[in-house]
Chains A and B, each alone.
Chain A
């Protein structure tokens, strides 16, 4: 092979590092207006009064968009997969997080747009808030979402994602040690250099050209078309070059509202978020709460795992049900554990809705599982490499979903790490491979499982 495997320079690298790449905010068109949003100043409230008349009457203001202007107010990014929508494009009667958009103003410049936002009359009746996922289930907890405090629409009307495999009680009975821990990685920001931005140009033929920083052109096309209730050929998304996304630009953050403002004003409109909006209002990686209880033998085999996950979704579901499902499918990490009992909930809180970010659903698991394994090795006085090599996925082992691994390389990467770090493995571990288990690497608890699953 000549081209595949070659260390070629990045296709678009020169443009990026010399500042010549054209990003969305670099695009300026004749007659372009600028947008600013009215956002909720409180975490949870009823909207008791909303009057945009003064803002609309201001000189230089060309459109004020509220929920009344949105043809389909609620459409979820995963509606196409059967996950129902819960989040209005603009708040109608309730705000559930600080910063939730209520109206969008398009004006001659950003200062005029902001002055018009400030002129919108809005009143709130504040409601009790919920921020700690652990208290979401308490009897006295404030109810903060129309569906209750946790997502109730998993397949089969389940209110949680559940994995059950093998016989968990038996695993705990047979265990030499039962080791439990709680793992709580923080929410973090995506911090793209390019903040959320879009420019929408109404074309003479009635189409809309939408300049977008989306990570997913067709996702955005489908979402905008659904909200506007127009066929896809009415919209052209222009993009493909993104100034950093890391998952935060899978959501269609600005395109639909900018389009509505452009249609109402019949002028091109650009909406670009300030750095402060990017930090305080854009989605974060979710904070997770994970509790792991492992049943282990003295020599480091993991017989069974019980796990509880509370996924802090923020005020709306967005991609969280998808993220939690992926999380549940991978909750054994790179290891084979035959007896499993997993319960996971997508919990609503009054914070900015969380969303996809690099490693979605699994970054949390990798941290929790690996820290827990290091603890197990430490408690049992075993080599952390050896505990991992023992339990590492091998051909014919099965995943939490009972899918057989056909070509895992966890054994190889652990061995290569040991070598790169200057370590020395005992012969039984240095010679291990991905091949189906046999001998010392096929303990009784896995023989039983392989038989049950017909391998």
Chain B
């Protein structure tokens, strides 16, 4: 009786935005008389950092400090349409909407500044909250002064609007799955390695280390990206070795009904993390960003399964990999059926073994 270490890898991809697209996000921006900016977006923040990310995009696009931006997603009277926070779309789709709104209001700021400075707006840009003449940074006017002039001198409300809608990709051939155009925006890629320890007496699987690499396009906020990657990894670990709504699936009996009777990962399950970010900019995300919120829990289960095989020589393909499944697999020492060039695993789980209405074969 002993513990055994194992190592396994996975490599995954995940699309940004709703499958087949057609999911709009919109935003609008207004400028207060002292140059501070209010952003109205309909994107819920579910802990993914949407408020932070969208505020950063607006500050960067206009050229003002981050703390000049106030973000409001509080209600459907003042915020325009956002399809919602899902499908890894908040940074990419909704981020593009606020980016467009910010670029729109920036143009209004430059137009008012042009009048005040008697310079063509094309010759102006905004740096750190000041409108400057390009190539002559000392000729400048604060955005706060421009906003005051707009309000009190010119009688102008400086606003900007933006909308993002990726064209709906229709399934043009229902037999083959062909589509009328790309059915999603940018694709993100990641790879994951898991190191596990398996106890062959208790069947317990511990994930010791997760090494993860993500192509995020552009990390708008590296701390929040790392948070997504490492928080998501713990959910992936739960999926791999702990969690099950139906412990006797397919039976509906004996479900956990409280946090005390359902195995969620806790701090003591947290493995050592090694995280690397690659920035391969997307062609049409804000500043090259891609969405990775969801895929953050997709890579771990496959890597863990391979690592368990590496450790003790069993393939457990029903998740989670519980001690019971490990011990049963160790006892069974199942080998695939080998016949000619066929290598057939898991035949006892197949529809062929137990169903009469559907069958499946080469």
A and B pair up = yes
Please give the residue numbers on chain A whose beta carbons come within 8 Å of chain B beta carbons, in ascending order.
1-12, 43, 81, 98, 131-139, 141, 154-156, 158, 161-165, 172, 175-189, 191, 214-219, 221, 232, 235-242, 244-247, 249-250, 275-276, 279-280, 284-285, 287, 289, 291, 293, 306, 308, 310, 312, 322, 325-326, 328-330, 333-334, 342, 349-351, 356, 358-363, 366-371, 373-375, 378-379, 384-385, 388, 392-393, 400-403, 405-410, 412-414, 416-417, 420-421
Residues of B within 8 A of A334 (CB): 11-13, 189
Question: What A residues does B189 contact at CB under 8 A?
Answer: 334, 408-410, 412-413
Q: A275-B259, A291-B350, A407-B280 are in contact. Are A413 and B213 (CB under 8 A)?
A: yes
Nearest CB of chain B from residue A104's CB, rounded to whole Å: 21
Interface residues of B in 304-321 (CB under 8 A from A): 305-306, 309, 315, 317-320
Specify which of A177, A289, A351 is in contact with B341 (CB 8 Å cutoff). A177
Please tell me if B15 contacts chain A, counting CB pairs below 8 Å: yes
Segment of B108-116, B131-139, B157-165, B179-187 engaged in the interface with chain A: B179-187
A307 → chain B closest CB, angstroms: 9
B96 at the binding interface (Cβ < 8 Å): no
Q: Is B276 an interface residue (CB 8 A)?
A: yes
Q: Contact between B222 and A7 (Cβ–Cβ < 8 Å)?
A: yes
B153 within 8 A of A: no
CB distance from A284 to the nearest CB of B (A): 5
- Can you name the residue of chain A whose Cβ is closest to the Cβ of B12? A366
**Given the complex of chains A and B, what is the CA–CA distance between A178 and B341 in angstroms?**
6
CB B150 to nearest CB in A, in angstroms, measures: 23
Q: Are A215 and B177 in contact (CB under 8 A)?
A: no
Q: B residues within 8 Å of A by Cβ?
A: 7-15, 19-20, 22, 42-47, 49, 51-52, 55-57, 59-60, 65-66, 71-77, 79, 81-87, 128, 171, 174-179, 181-184, 186-187, 189-193, 211-215, 218-224, 232, 235, 238-239, 243-246, 249-252, 255-259, 262, 264, 274, 276, 278, 280, 282-283, 287, 293-299, 301-303, 305-306, 309, 315, 317-320, 341-347, 349-351, 354-358, 360-362
Q: A131-B252, A308-B351, A407-B282 are in contact. Are A371 and B302 (CB under 8 A)?
A: yes
A346 to B282, alpha carbons, bound, how many Å?
33
Considering the chains assembled together, what is the distance between the CA atoms of A44 and B315 in angstroms?
36
In the bound assembly, the distance between CA atoms of A373 and B299 in angstroms comes to 13
**In the complex, residue of chain A having the shortest beta-carbon distance to the beta carbon of B222:** A7
In the bound complex, CA of A242 to CA of B262 (Å) = 22
Quick check: B221 and A7 within 8 Å, CB to CB? yes
Q: Which of A131, A158, A161, A175 contacts B251 (CB 8 A)?
A: A131
Find B46's partner among A191, A249, A408, A410 (CB 8 Å cutoff): A249
Name the distance in Å between A239's Cβ and chain B's nearest Cβ. Answer: 6
Contact call B343/A392, Cβ cutoff below 8 A: no
* CB closest residue in chain A, given B209: A421
Considering only CB atoms, which chain A residue lies closest to B220 in the complex? A4
CA distance A402 to B171 in the complex (A): 12
Q: Closest residue to A164 on the B side, CB-wise?
A: B176
Contact call A245/B85, Cβ cutoff below 8 A: yes
Q: Would you call A164 and B356 a contact (CB within 8 A)?
A: no
> Which residues in A have their C-beta under 8 angstroms from that of B60?
1-4
Tell me the minimal C-beta distance from A380 to chain B in angstroms: 10
CA separation between A11 and B219, bound complex, in Å? 16
CA distance A367 to B192 in the complex (A): 12
Ordered nearest first, which 8 A-B pairs have the shortest CB separation?
A: A216-B84, A370-B302, A137-B357, A240-B73, A156-B174, A374-B306, A182-B346, A163-B177
Q: How distant is the Cα of A244 from the Cα of B46 in the complex, in angstroms? A: 6
Most buried by B among A289, A356, A362: A362
Complex: chain A residue closest to B41, CB-CB: A240
Q: Once the chains bind, are A371 and B297 in contact (CB under 8 Å)?
A: no
Contact residues in A for B177 (Cβ distance below 8 Å): 161-165, 328-329, 342, 400-401
Per the bound structure, the CA–CA distance linking A241 and B222 in Å amounts to 22
If A216-B85, A329-B19 touch, does A11 touch B298 (CB 8 Å cutoff)? no
6 A–B contacts, CB within 8 A, in A order? A186-B320, A187-B246, A215-B85, A240-B73, A275-B258, A279-B245
Q: Which residues of A contact B56 (CB under 8 A)?
A: 3-4, 6, 8
- Given A276-B258, A362-B295, the answer on whether A188 and B355 have CB atoms closer than 8 Å is no
Inter-chain contacts of A308 with B (CB < 8 A) = 351, 358, 360
Known interface pairs A137-B357, A216-B82; 9 further A-B residue pairs with C-beta atoms within 8 A, sorted by A's residue number: A5-B222, A8-B52, A246-B46, A359-B14, A366-B295, A366-B301, A388-B9, A403-B179, A412-B189
